[in-house]
A and B are shown apart, each in its own frame.
Chain A
Amino acid sequence: EVQLVESGGGLVQPGGSLRLSCAASGFTFSSHWMSWVRQAPGKGLEWVANIQQDGSGKYYVDSVKGRFTTSRDNAKNSMYLQMNSLRAEDTALYYCAREQTGMGFDQWGQGTLVTVSS
Protein backbone atom coordinates (compact mmCIF):
# COMPACT_ATOMS: atom_id res chain seq x y z
CA GLU A 1 0.00 0.00 0.00
CA VAL A 2 1.32 3.41 -0.98
CA GLN A 3 1.76 5.74 1.99
CA LEU A 4 2.97 9.31 2.25
CA VAL A 5 3.33 10.71 5.74
CA GLU A 6 4.20 14.34 6.33
CA SER A 7 5.64 15.71 9.55
CA GLY A 8 7.36 18.77 10.92
CA GLY A 9 4.58 21.31 10.86
CA GLY A 10 3.82 23.63 13.75
CA LEU A 11 3.51 27.19 14.94
CA VAL A 12 6.33 29.53 13.98
CA GLN A 13 6.78 33.29 14.19
CA PRO A 14 7.05 35.42 11.05
CA GLY A 15 10.59 35.30 9.76
CA GLY A 16 11.17 31.89 11.29
CA SER A 17 12.02 28.54 9.75
CA LEU A 18 10.59 25.04 9.62
CA ARG A 19 11.62 21.82 7.93
CA LEU A 20 8.91 19.52 6.70
CA SER A 21 9.45 15.85 5.96
CA CYS A 22 7.55 13.38 3.81
CA ALA A 23 8.16 9.69 4.41
CA ALA A 24 7.17 7.41 1.54
CA SER A 25 6.50 3.69 1.50
CA GLY A 26 4.84 1.07 -0.66
CA PHE A 27 6.37 2.13 -3.95
CA THR A 28 9.73 2.78 -5.62
CA PHE A 29 10.29 6.29 -4.32
CA SER A 30 13.35 6.94 -6.49
CA SER A 31 11.28 6.46 -9.66
CA HIS A 32 8.99 9.43 -9.11
CA TRP A 33 9.00 13.18 -9.19
CA MET A 34 7.55 14.39 -5.92
CA SER A 35 5.70 17.60 -5.14
CA TRP A 36 4.62 19.79 -2.25
CA VAL A 37 1.12 21.23 -2.50
CA ARG A 38 -0.39 23.53 0.11
CA GLN A 39 -3.87 24.58 1.11
CA ALA A 40 -4.50 27.68 3.19
CA PRO A 41 -7.37 27.37 5.67
CA GLY A 42 -10.66 27.32 3.78
CA LYS A 43 -8.91 27.91 0.44
CA GLY A 44 -7.96 25.96 -2.64
CA LEU A 45 -4.90 24.00 -3.64
CA GLU A 46 -1.60 25.64 -4.55
CA TRP A 47 1.40 23.79 -5.95
CA VAL A 48 4.55 24.85 -4.10
CA ALA A 49 7.54 22.89 -5.37
CA ASN A 50 8.71 19.66 -6.88
CA ILE A 51 11.86 17.61 -7.22
CA GLN A 52 13.11 15.23 -9.84
CA GLN A 53 13.80 11.57 -9.17
CA ASP A 54 17.52 12.02 -8.51
CA GLY A 55 17.15 15.45 -6.94
CA SER A 56 18.84 17.23 -9.83
CA GLY A 57 15.81 19.25 -10.89
CA LYS A 58 13.86 21.42 -8.49
CA TYR A 59 11.14 23.91 -9.28
CA TYR A 60 9.18 26.39 -7.19
CA VAL A 61 6.18 28.66 -7.35
CA ASP A 62 7.33 32.28 -7.54
CA SER A 63 5.99 33.18 -4.10
CA VAL A 64 8.42 30.83 -2.34
CA LYS A 65 11.51 31.13 -4.55
CA GLY A 66 14.56 32.03 -2.54
CA ARG A 67 12.84 31.12 0.74
CA PHE A 68 11.92 27.43 0.37
CA THR A 69 14.20 24.57 -0.66
CA THR A 70 13.12 21.05 -1.43
CA SER A 71 15.39 18.02 -1.23
CA ARG A 72 15.15 14.27 -1.05
CA ASP A 73 17.03 11.26 0.26
CA ASN A 74 16.18 8.24 -1.85
CA ALA A 75 18.03 5.92 0.55
CA LYS A 76 15.58 6.99 3.24
CA ASN A 77 12.55 7.23 0.94
CA SER A 78 12.04 10.76 2.13
CA MET A 79 11.49 14.26 0.80
CA TYR A 80 11.99 17.51 2.65
CA LEU A 81 10.91 21.14 2.47
CA GLN A 82 13.11 23.67 4.21
CA MET A 83 11.06 26.81 4.73
CA ASN A 84 12.85 30.02 5.73
CA SER A 85 11.70 33.61 6.16
CA LEU A 86 8.18 32.41 6.76
CA ARG A 87 5.30 34.79 6.29
CA ALA A 88 1.72 34.79 7.50
CA GLU A 89 0.59 33.92 3.99
CA ASP A 90 2.55 30.65 4.16
CA THR A 91 0.06 29.39 6.76
CA ALA A 92 -1.43 26.25 5.24
CA LEU A 93 -1.75 22.52 5.31
CA TYR A 94 1.22 21.19 3.37
CA TYR A 95 0.73 17.98 1.42
CA CYS A 96 3.35 15.86 -0.24
CA ALA A 97 2.14 14.25 -3.42
CA ARG A 98 3.50 11.69 -5.84
CA GLU A 99 3.63 12.68 -9.48
CA GLN A 100 2.65 9.88 -11.81
CA THR A 101 4.00 10.34 -15.30
CA GLY A 102 1.23 11.21 -17.70
CA MET A 103 -1.39 11.52 -14.99
CA GLY A 104 -0.87 14.08 -12.29
CA PHE A 105 -0.77 13.75 -8.52
CA ASP A 106 -1.96 10.22 -7.94
CA GLN A 107 -1.03 9.76 -4.27
CA TRP A 108 -1.25 12.28 -1.44
CA GLY A 109 -0.31 12.36 2.20
CA GLN A 110 -2.67 13.66 4.87
CA GLY A 111 -0.75 16.88 5.27
CA THR A 112 1.06 18.74 8.02
CA LEU A 113 -0.16 22.12 9.26
CA VAL A 114 2.12 25.14 9.26
CA THR A 115 0.93 28.22 11.12
CA VAL A 116 2.92 31.43 10.87
CA SER A 117 1.84 33.85 13.55
CA SER A 118 3.24 36.02 16.30
Chain B
Amino acid sequence: EIVLTQSPATLSLSPGERATLSCRASQSVSNYLAWYQQKPGQAPRLLIYDASNRATGIPARFSGSGSGTDFTLTISSLEPEDFAVYYCQQRINWPPYTFGQGTKLEIK
Protein backbone atom coordinates (compact mmCIF):
# COMPACT_ATOMS: atom_id res chain seq x y z
CA GLU B 1 0.00 0.00 0.00
CA ILE B 2 1.32 3.43 -0.92
CA VAL B 3 1.41 5.84 2.00
CA LEU B 4 0.99 9.53 1.32
CA THR B 5 2.35 11.98 3.89
CA GLN B 6 1.19 15.57 3.75
CA SER B 7 2.92 18.54 5.32
CA PRO B 8 2.40 20.67 7.18
CA ALA B 9 -0.59 19.38 9.11
CA THR B 10 -1.80 22.95 9.54
CA LEU B 11 -0.83 26.05 7.60
CA SER B 12 -1.79 29.47 8.89
CA LEU B 13 -1.75 32.24 6.31
CA SER B 14 -3.54 35.46 5.45
CA PRO B 15 -5.65 36.24 2.39
CA GLY B 16 -3.45 37.34 -0.48
CA GLU B 17 -0.51 35.21 0.63
CA ARG B 18 0.92 32.26 -1.27
CA ALA B 19 0.24 28.76 0.05
CA THR B 20 2.49 25.79 -0.58
CA LEU B 21 1.26 22.33 0.47
CA SER B 22 3.34 19.18 0.16
CA CYS B 23 2.55 15.51 -0.40
CA ARG B 24 5.20 12.80 -0.29
CA ALA B 25 4.59 9.22 -1.44
CA SER B 26 6.24 6.14 0.08
CA GLN B 27 7.07 4.96 -3.44
CA SER B 28 6.79 6.45 -6.89
CA VAL B 29 3.31 7.25 -8.12
CA SER B 30 4.64 8.71 -11.38
CA ASN B 31 2.26 11.64 -11.96
CA TYR B 32 -0.91 9.77 -10.89
CA LEU B 33 -1.65 12.12 -8.04
CA ALA B 34 -4.74 14.21 -7.39
CA TRP B 35 -5.56 17.00 -4.97
CA TYR B 36 -8.94 17.61 -3.34
CA GLN B 37 -10.36 20.49 -1.33
CA GLN B 38 -12.87 19.91 1.45
CA LYS B 39 -14.72 22.65 3.26
CA PRO B 40 -16.58 22.03 6.54
CA GLY B 41 -19.82 20.17 6.00
CA GLN B 42 -19.12 19.62 2.32
CA ALA B 43 -17.96 16.76 0.15
CA PRO B 44 -14.44 16.86 -1.26
CA ARG B 45 -13.92 18.59 -4.59
CA LEU B 46 -11.36 17.54 -7.18
CA LEU B 47 -8.88 20.35 -7.81
CA ILE B 48 -5.91 18.84 -9.61
CA TYR B 49 -5.41 15.52 -11.40
CA ASP B 50 -2.30 13.89 -12.80
CA ALA B 51 -0.21 16.14 -10.58
CA SER B 52 -0.61 19.33 -12.57
CA ASN B 53 -3.91 19.44 -14.46
CA ARG B 54 -6.67 21.63 -13.11
CA ALA B 55 -10.11 20.05 -13.00
CA THR B 56 -13.04 21.74 -14.67
CA GLY B 57 -13.92 25.09 -13.15
CA ILE B 58 -10.90 25.31 -10.86
CA PRO B 59 -9.39 28.81 -10.73
CA ALA B 60 -5.95 29.40 -12.19
CA ARG B 61 -4.55 30.39 -8.78
CA PHE B 62 -4.44 26.66 -7.98
CA SER B 63 -1.51 24.80 -9.47
CA GLY B 64 0.11 21.44 -8.92
CA SER B 65 3.58 20.16 -9.59
CA GLY B 66 5.83 17.20 -8.98
CA SER B 67 6.34 13.63 -10.06
CA GLY B 68 7.58 10.40 -8.56
CA THR B 69 7.37 10.82 -4.80
CA ASP B 70 7.23 14.58 -4.15
CA PHE B 71 4.31 16.81 -5.04
CA THR B 72 3.22 20.36 -4.32
CA LEU B 73 -0.08 22.17 -4.43
CA THR B 74 0.34 25.92 -4.71
CA ILE B 75 -2.32 28.57 -4.26
CA SER B 76 -0.79 31.73 -5.65
CA SER B 77 -2.86 34.31 -3.78
CA LEU B 78 -5.28 33.09 -1.14
CA GLU B 79 -8.91 34.04 -1.35
CA PRO B 80 -11.18 33.79 1.72
CA GLU B 81 -12.94 30.76 0.21
CA ASP B 82 -9.68 28.83 -0.09
CA PHE B 83 -9.38 28.15 3.63
CA ALA B 84 -10.20 24.46 3.88
CA VAL B 85 -8.62 21.03 4.23
CA TYR B 86 -6.64 19.69 1.28
CA TYR B 87 -5.98 16.02 0.53
CA CYS B 88 -3.71 14.32 -1.96
CA GLN B 89 -4.61 10.91 -3.43
CA GLN B 90 -2.77 8.38 -5.56
CA ARG B 91 -4.30 6.16 -8.24
CA ILE B 92 -1.31 4.30 -9.67
CA ASN B 93 -1.32 1.36 -7.28
CA TRP B 94 -4.73 0.15 -6.19
CA PRO B 95 -6.50 -1.35 -4.44
CA PRO B 96 -6.46 0.48 -2.26
CA TYR B 97 -6.57 4.02 -3.52
CA THR B 98 -4.93 6.01 -0.73
CA PHE B 99 -5.23 9.55 0.53
CA GLY B 100 -2.89 11.69 2.53
CA GLN B 101 -3.97 12.66 6.04
CA GLY B 102 -4.77 16.20 4.95
CA THR B 103 -3.45 19.72 5.43
CA LYS B 104 -5.69 22.25 7.10
CA LEU B 105 -5.26 25.72 5.64
CA GLU B 106 -6.48 28.22 8.21
CA ILE B 107 -6.74 31.98 8.37
CA LYS B 108 -3.94 33.63 10.32
- From B42, B55, B97, A47 is in contact (CB under 8 Å) with B97
> Does B39 reach chain A (CB closer than 8 Å)?
no
> Does A66 reach chain B (CB closer than 8 Å)?
no
1/0 contact trace for A48-72 toward B, CB 8 Å? 0010000000011110000000000
Nearest-CB residue, chain B, relative to A93: B43
Q: Do the beta carbons of B99 and A47 come within 8 Å of each other?
A: yes
Q: Do the beta carbons of B50 and A103 come within 8 Å of each other?
A: yes
Nearest-CB residue, chain A, relative to B41: A110
- Known pairs A95-B43, A103-B50, A110-B43; A45 contacts B95 (CB<8 A): no
> Does A26 reach chain B (CB closer than 8 Å)?
no
- Known pairs A44-B87, A102-B50, A105-B36; A60 contacts B45 (CB<8 A): no
- Known pairs A102-B49, A104-B91; A47 contacts B102 (CB<8 A): no
Chain A residues with CB under 8 Å of chain B are 35, 44-47, 50, 59-62, 95, 102-106, 108-111
Would you mind naming 12 contact pairs between A and B with Cβ atoms under 8 Å apart? A44-B87, A44-B101, A45-B44, A45-B89, A61-B95, A61-B96, A102-B50, A103-B49, A103-B50, A104-B89, A105-B44, A106-B55
